[in-house]
Amino acid sequence: MNGCLRLALCLGLLGISGCQSPSRNSGPKFDPRAKEPAVVTLTNLTAVASTNQLQPEWLKPSGKTFTLGPGDKIEIEVLGEAGTRSTVSVGPDGKIYYYLLPGINVWGLTLPQVKQRLESDLTKFLSAPKVAISLRGIESKRVWLMGRLQNAGVYPMGAPMTLLESISAAGGTLASSASGTTEDLADLKHSFVVRNGQMLPVDFEKLLKAGDVSQNIYLEPDDFVYLPSSLAREIYVLGAIRTPRVVSLSKQATLVGAIASTGGPMKDAYLSEVAIVRGTLSNPKIAVVNYTDIVKGRAPDVLLEAGDIVYVPLSPYRYLSKYADLILTTFVRAVAINEGARAGSRNAPTAGVAIGIGTTTIGR
């Protein structure tokens, strides 16, 4: 067939099916004219090496001596003086009120320091007083143990406590009996510890299933430990969207559907690099997709799985590992806020969390 005849045939068929040369890329093609939107399984997941690593000092007790704070209770008695035994609480202002003394500020003091302070101040009323003091209740130093635990709650921390000891104090993880077998209801792949707003890279599977004591860190006051349910089928949609939230997984949940259920992206969202994080929190995998191409019909939508974290950024990323760290930090903060609110009030609404990253490049 000569070139002119071939060109004529191409032009004649253009209105029906187009005249295309063979593509260099093999595999199925996305047809934007199809009646049903194309949906594909996510395949471009990349394992990332997190910059967040366990620190050796976390495996040792801090060595800090217990200090008093608001809510703590102490028993005080002046030896040899009848009727002086009394249990007092440290007030919200950090002060205690005992005997004839005015309010004494004990916030941040150790028990020996409080004893010395009381003996000094009581000399105004008594001759060479000797004070006995003991701790009767702890409210100022606590750890949060939430999720699928037998007795989840907020626990006092008057002495060094490891992660395993804390889980044991809460009765261990929940389990269900079915057909003569016991199924652990805690999702260890997505369990985490948050300290000062940052996730500690503890591998709960290694700790609780393999007995790896290198994961058994010492907790600090206000640490937040969370073990989610292994039966939950949820997707977390966070970042630069109108209403960050947890989305229940449907039969065929897609990226477009998940983002749409949150009210859609914010005006200045950077939609070319929407991330999907999958896998364990200690060894996550991440895929970056062009959301704009999907909604404009230039690329197929992608299927999501239970536990996926969808993150819409405000700016492009530079380093994939730092992008993943940002997403995981946003995720654990959101979950901690929600679970903490529920612990305080069962009627508390789910908190939406969107952490803005300004206009700077992620990972700069």
CB 313 within 8 A of CB 206: no
Long-range contacts of 286-289 (CB under 8 A, 24+ apart): 286/45, 286/46, 286/48, 286/320, 286/323, 286/324, 286/327, 287/42, 287/44, 287/45, 287/46, 288/44, 288/317, 288/320, 288/323, 289/42, 289/44, 289/255
> What are the domain boundaries of the chain?
39-49+233-344, 73-137, 140-227
Rounded CA separation 255/311 (Å): 10
pLDDT at site 282: 86
pLDDT at site 10: 40
- Mean pLDDT over 254-263 rounds to 93
Label residue 350 by pLDDT band (50, 70, 90).
very low
Query: Which stretches of 58-176 are DSSP H helices?
Result: 111-122, 163-169
Q: Per-residue pLDDT for 256 more than 60?
A: yes
Task: Find out if CATH 3.10.560.10 is the number for domain 140-227.
Answer: yes
Q: What are the pLDDT digits (tens) for 206-216?
A: 999 999 999 99
Q: Per-residue pLDDT for 98 more than 80?
A: yes
* CATH assignment of 73-137, among 2.60.260.20, 3.90.950.20, 2.40.50.140, 3.30.1950.10: 3.30.1950.10
Tell me if domain 39-49+233-344 and domain 140-227 are identical in fold. yes
Q: What are the pLDDT digits (tens) for 149-206?
A: 999 999 999 889 999 999 999 999 987 554 444 556 899 999 999 999 889 989 999 9
Q: What percent of the chain has pLDDT over 90?
A: 60
pLDDT at site 345: 58
Bigger pLDDT: 26 or 263?
Answer: 263
Pick from 225, 214, 203, 212: nearest CA to 56: 214
| Tally of CB atoms within 10 A around 162 | 16
CB 285 within 8 A of CB 45: yes
Residue 19: helix, strand or coil by DSSP?
A: coil
Rounded CA separation 66/59 (Å): 19
Label residue 344 by pLDDT band (50, 70, 90).
low
- Mean pLDDT over 244-268 rounds to 90
Task: Find out if CATH 3.30.200.20 is the number for domain 39-49+233-344.
Answer: no
Q: What are the pLDDT digits (tens) for 104-126?
A: 999 999 999 999 999 999 999 99
Q: What are the pLDDT digits (tens) for 61-75?
A: 988 889 999 999 999
pLDDT at site 257: 93
pLDDT at site 351: 44
- Mean pLDDT over 300-327 rounds to 92
pLDDT at site 147: 92
